[in-house]
Amino acid sequence: MAQSEDIANTVEPYQLYYFPIPGRAEASRVVLSLANLSWKDNEINFEEYGQMKRNGELPWGMVPMLRTPDGVLAESAAILRYIGNMAGLTPADPFHAAKVDEFIDGVEPFSQILSGTFSIEDVDERTRARQAVFEEEGEGTKNLKLLEKKIAESTTGWVASTTDMNIADIRVFTALFGLFSGNFDGVEKSTLADYPGLLQYHDKVANEPRIKAHYANISEGSLRWTYQPGAFADLI
Ligand SMILES: N[C@@H](CCC(=O)N[C@@H](CS)C(=O)NCC(=O)O)C(=O)O
């Protein structure tokens, strides 16, 4: 890829920068697409990330980062809310909008459950550490149970009890099922067999027409297979 200054000179008014994985940028990528904005997905490698950081292009020294016609925006939740507002994917009434925010912020501990394991160089040790996360008393298990409980409490099937799908669903769906793509040693998709409520939620979101269309044509070997309908059908 060209240097970051060159990327910024391309024509799309919205430019997202993140690593070539779903991770913290995936929900914003989906919503940028659903918003029909003209945008570019700049998948950067670690060296390019380092260069952008040294150049002072990243407001908080991290990615994702979004360039917009109004300026640069960092923090994945802020980016998601901004794009979600433009896409009509946030509720209008203040309470439901706040409930949506609650879920976007509430899923944060879950999205960090592997964070202590990335620095473990030995693959066997790393695998064991991640398996422990999903043992009975592990943080992964606690978080999956909590998420399943929250979804069961929904009055509409959408995570924040909204009438329609919104950015909270897209964040929870991409964070939750992205973890089981096989990209993380020691994290087995079979774990989800213990969570029928989560599998039902997967079915609901993956079959939502806009989500289904968005992931209909992913490339061979893509990590995004967990977002397609039927991805976990063998566990049901
Ligand atoms: N709170 C931030 C956290 C961003 C974050 O942790 N970004 C990671 C990638 S997932 C990063 O930039 N890591 C590079 C580094 O810290 O060296 C957000 O949600 O955007």
Question: Among 207, 180, 208, which residue's Cα sits nearest to residue 192?
Answer: 180
State residue 2's pLDDT score.
Answer: 44
Is the shortest distance between the CB of 23 and ligand 1 below 6 Å? yes
Q: Hey, which CATH number is domain 4-87, 3.40.1280.10, 3.40.718.10, 3.40.30.10, 3.30.70.930?
A: 3.40.30.10
**Whole-number pLDDT of residue 9:** 56
What is the domain class of 94-235 according to CATH?
Answer: mainly alpha
Residue 230 confidence (pLDDT): 97
State in Å: Cα 46 to ligand 1 middle: 12
Q: Where in the chain is the domain with CATH 1.20.1050.10?
A: 94-235
Report whether residue 75 contacts ligand 1, using a CB cutoff of 6 Å.
Answer: yes
Q: Strand order in 65-68's β-sheet?
A: 39-43, 14-18, 65-68, 71-74
Q: Ligand 1 centroid vs 155 CA: distance in angstroms?
A: 33
Q: How far is the CA of 196 from the centre of ligand 1 (A)?
A: 31
Residue of minimum CA distance from atom 12 in ligand 1 = 62
CA-to-CA separations, 37 to 31, 74, 84, 91, 131, in angstroms, rounded = 9, 18, 11, 20, 40
Kindly give the distance from the C-alpha atom of residue 23 to the centroid of ligand 1, in angstroms, as a whole number.
10
Q: What is the mean pLDDT of each run of 10 residues along the chain (236 residues)?
A: 51 96 98 96 98 98 98 98 97 96 97 96 97 96 98 98 97 98 96 98 98 97 97 95
CB of 21 sitting under 6 A from ligand 1: no
Distance 133 CA to ligand 1 centre (A): 21
Does the CB atom of residue 76 touch ligand 1 within 6 A?
yes
* Helical segments of the chain, H only: 4-8, 26-34, 46-54, 76-87, 94-106, 108-111, 123-133, 139-153, 167-178, 196-206, 209-214
CATH 3.40.30.10 positions along the chain are 4-87
Which of 16, 19, 24 maximizes ligand 1 atoms within 8 Å of its Cβ, making it the mutation to test the pocket?
24
Please report where in the chains the tokens 């669903």 appear, as a residue: 169
